[in-house]
Structure 1
Amino acid sequence: MGHSQQVDRGRSGLGAAGDATEGMRAAGRPAAREGSPVAGGPRVLGPLGCALLLAMVAAQVASGPQPRPILLTSVVVLLLAASAVAFAARAHTFPRAVAAFAAAVLSGYAAEWIGIRTGLPFGPYHYTGVLRPQLGSVPVIVALAWGGMGLAAHATAAAVFPAATAYGRAARVAAGAAALTAWDLFLDPQMLRLDLWVWHDDGPYRGVPLSNFAGWLLVSALVMVLINVIVADPAARSAGLRSVYAVMAFMETVGFAAVFDPPDRLVAATGGACMGVFAVLAWWRGRRAGPA
């Protein structure tokens, strides 16, 4: 091959790269080096997610001292879900964020609908009439909680295992399922305090049977698989979604340790340690990988 041909081909390659870069700029997305995240949504979604997250914290603080904070409990979940969708849309584009959220919501709802009728996969239980509205005897707010924390747990796991290999995807699903199940170490004891649902068989963890956590792992793994497929590029890290997970871990730990009446330091220590491991690992790995 002659020298002039090599130069022409090199120029052609540079021209193609330049065209691709210009195409990305024209689409409103920044050109990114290999392996770096590319935000999928408008920049305004980041501040919006932060505002919703701060509002969620305020609602949690307001609900803490109240003996029956049912209304504020629903407000917390709504703000959690909205914040998670905003951050996910910033990382993955709005259609993918909504699709991933919807998949998690529908999976969680289906598991709850089947669960209260068959006892599978969580064990025999039923919801009381406290949380409204309900669809098929399942509170709608419960399904939304699966969606919001599902996105947050997935992003946390994606920060810990960012590699787009078969091993990385499997590890991400396993870690995400464990991270989401760790949240239930707080959720179930708190909801039992408020008489939002009732277990038919008493269990060793504050009345919660161990079958519940096995069921959570199973359903959470399904949620992680679906989100993984829908967002297509879990390496597009979301510091906002990791923050949702970390903030929830911190607030629940403080609530059970010092705010709820009476406090429950066993739940605070157990849930705080399990969620805290994932939050710290995601923060550490996220810092090493650079800003999202």
Structure 2
Amino acid sequence: MIPSIAALPLPRLRTARELVPLALAAALLATAIAYPLADGDTRNAVSWAIVLLGATLSVVHAWLSRGARTGLGVLVLVGGVAVAFESVGLATGFPYGSYTYSDVLGPTLLGVPFLVPLAWLMMAWPSWLLGGRLARPVRPGRRRAARIAWAAAVFAAWDVVLDPQMVDAGYWTWAHPSPGLPGIDTVPLTNLAGWLLAGVVLMTLLDLLVERTATPPAVGDAAPLLALAWMTLGGALAHAGWLGLPGSAVWGAGLGAAVLAVLAVQHARQP
């Protein structure tokens, strides 16, 4: 018996709550594609647009998916931790190493350009979401620690791709860029150590924030995770093809592939 058209299931229509994060993610991806194709002042404007879209996506998704208190909490918490770590880093060299920002980044707070905490916002929320997915197989008693560890690692790994690009653009410079990761001679290993430390602190606080403020998720995590994947793997492609940064391209592709492999193994083991 052939079912009638009326009996066939209709595709579920997405609500505005679901479409807004996806629209922001699409705008972010389109703007990121424009970055390697631009130069000069246009490229600087594209950088600002990427960071503003990414930060907006994180706050809006946290708000729409887990409630207004979580969205506002993410904005205040991540922005505050970013300014604290970056201002201490500028003044003391701890925990990243000694570095200086260029004037091209515009207005600052405690010496930290406004672009920087916005970049933290862009990176932190998707990293926490992915950390949660990677920690799912861990037994409940250890899941929080695993989630924080994974999220901090993803947060630091994202910067492995981002930092050489920003140095190449002239946004900041390192006083002592060596030793660095193989293939990356403009960013010291101390920066990676600093990002891991900052990531552990930030993801611990973010985890506590979500625990105390969040309602059950009302929107899936596809939009911020798509943004994270594209900014890492797409960034690696841009580094290799257009920006002349083969070392960070290899690291970005390798780290992204490793995370995808872990997720694939987890999916295959699901009953």
Same fold per superposition (TM over 0.5): yes
| Residues 88 and 238, structure 1, Cα contact 8 Å, conserved in 2 | no
Identify which of 32, 35, 51 aligns with 1:63.
Answer: 35
Query: How big is the shift at 1:90?
Result: 3.0
- Please tell me whether residue 161 in structure 1 is matched to residue 135 in structure 2: yes
Distance 1:276 1:235 in 2: 30
SS at match of 2:79: helix
Distance change (3 Å), C-alpha of 1:85 and 1:276: farther
Conserved in 2, the CA contact under 8 Å of 1:49 and 1:240?
yes
User: Once the 2 structures are TM-superposed, how far is the Cα of residue 97 of structure 1 from its aligned partner?
Assistant: 2.2
Cα deviations across residues 7-38 of structure 1 (Å, max 9, x unaligned)? xxxxxxxxxxxxxxxxxxxxxxxxxxxxxxxx
Shift of 1:164: 7.7
SS in 1 for 2:176: coil
Map 1:23-38; keep pairs closer than 5 Å: none
Point out 4+ residue stretches in structure 1 off by more than 3 angstroms: 233-237, 279-289
1:107 maps to what in 2?
81
Offset at 1:283?
6.9
- Paired residue for 1:97, among 46, 49, 71? 71
The alpha carbon displacement at 1:287 in A equals 9.3
The structure-2 alpha-carbon separation of the partners of 1:109 and 1:166, relative to structure 1 and needing over 3 Å to count, comes to: farther
Q: Please, which moves more after superposition, 243-252 or 75-84?
A: 243-252
Q: Is the Cα contact below 8 Å between 2:152 and 2:200 reproduced in 1?
A: yes
Cα 1:67–1:287 shift into 2, 3 Å = farther
CA–CA separation in structure 2 for the residues paired with 1:43 and 1:101: 24
Counterpart of 1:275 (choices 231, 256, 261) is: 256
Deviation of 1:279 after TM superposition, in Å, equals 4.7
Distance 1:193 1:106 in 2: 27
TM-score, normalised via structure 1 length: 0.77
How far, CA to CA, are the matches of 2:58 and 2:153 in structure 1? 19
Q: What is the match of residue 116 of structure 2?
A: 142
* TM-score under structure 2 length normalisation: 0.83
Deviation of residue 250 (structure 1)?
2.2
Counterpart of 1:209? Answer: 188
Contact 1:105 1:147 in 2 (8 A): yes
State the alpha-carbon separation in 2 of the partners of residues 150 and 222 from structure 1: 11
Mark the runs of 5 or more structure 2 residues left unpaired by the alignment: 1-13
Say which of 207, 229, 232 aligns to 1:228.
207
RMSD: 2.5
- 2:24 aligned with 1:52, yes or no? yes
Secondary structure of the 2:38 match is: coil
Match of 2:149 in 1: 174
* Superposition pairs of residues 181-220 of structure 1, within 5 angstroms: 181-203=156-178, 204=180, 205-220=184-199
Alignment partner of 2:98 out of 124, 127, 150? 124
Q: Once the two structures are superposed, what CA deviation does each residue of 1:105-127 show, in whole Å capped at 9, x if it has no partner?
A: 21111100110000001011111
Residue number in structure 1 paired with 2:11? none
SS at match of 1:198: strand
* CA deviation vs aligned residue, 1:219-264 (integer Å, no higher than 9, x gap): 011111111111116995623222221121122011111122xx22
For residue 148 of structure 1, report the CA deviation from its aligned partner.
1.9
Letter in 2 for 1:249: T
Q: Secondary structure at the match of 1:195?
A: coil
- Overall identity of the aligned pairs, in %: 27
**Partner letter of residue 77 of structure 2?**
A
- Indicate the structure (1 or 2) with the bigger Cα radius of gyration: 1
Secondary structure at 1:123's aligned position in 2?
Answer: coil
Inter-CA distance 238–49: structure 2 relative to 1 (3 Å threshold): same
State the Cα distance separating 1:160 from its structure 2 match.
1.1
